[in-house]
Amino acid sequence: MVLGLALALVAAQSCKSHPETNLLTKYFNAISMKDTTTMSTMAVDPITIDAASWKIVSVSEEKIEPAALADIGAKEADLKKQQDAHVPTTLDAKDALDIAKDDYTTARTAAAKAAAKAKMDAAQAKYDEEYAKHQDIIRQYNEAKAAATKEEDITIFSLGAGQLPNIRDLKGDVHTKDVQIEVKTKAGAVENYKISMKMYQLKDEAANVSHRGRWVITKIEKI
């Protein structure tokens, strides 16, 4: 009984999927053939590696995390609303500053000049404050927009589904792992690379439709 269980475990382990091996074998075959088109179907940012041979040195544990695109997209949408809502506030502060400057220019007596100067300084401070807030919202929005676009592009790349109108509404998991490889170049040098991979498993809950992606290379970096 124990022997049978042990054999079953060994069999299960031998059947365990190693997507990194298959993916990297295909990728390096494409490199050897100078097939940049095929390389671009496997890697987000494909690069050519001068390899006479290569081997996997280590593979990280596979991480599974909730898909983040919906949350990132929601953050982008919220910051866009904040940006639009803050425009009138910033413009009002600018208008108040312009009026205060005009009052200062037209003031005739020393007392009127002093009062107008104080009003202008306060208006300038208020405008500077609102302008700084607005610029910070714009910065946050641009960062969120870039992050959402990048995550959406990688999601579509893994799913291989073209344009899905509701892709930012899909729920599910993202599987990630890092692979370290050793490359022997044609010149005889040894180089090491870290290759990051992702695979998406998402679901359209409203339509009850599953979208299972494929493993793709998201980053290749020399280490």
For residue 61, the SS3 value is coil
CB 159 within 8 A of CB 200: yes
Q: How far apart are CA 43 and CA 131, in angstroms?
A: 41
Q: 117: how many CB neighbours lie within 10 A of its CB?
A: 14
pLDDT in tens, 123-136: 999 999 999 999 99
Q: How far apart are CA 215 and CA 19, in angstroms?
A: 7
Average of pLDDT values for 188-194?
A: 96
Angle between helices 69-106 and 110-159 (to 10 degrees): 160
3-state helix, strand, coil in the chain (%, to 5): 55, 25, 20
pLDDT in tens, 169-183: 899 999 999 999 999
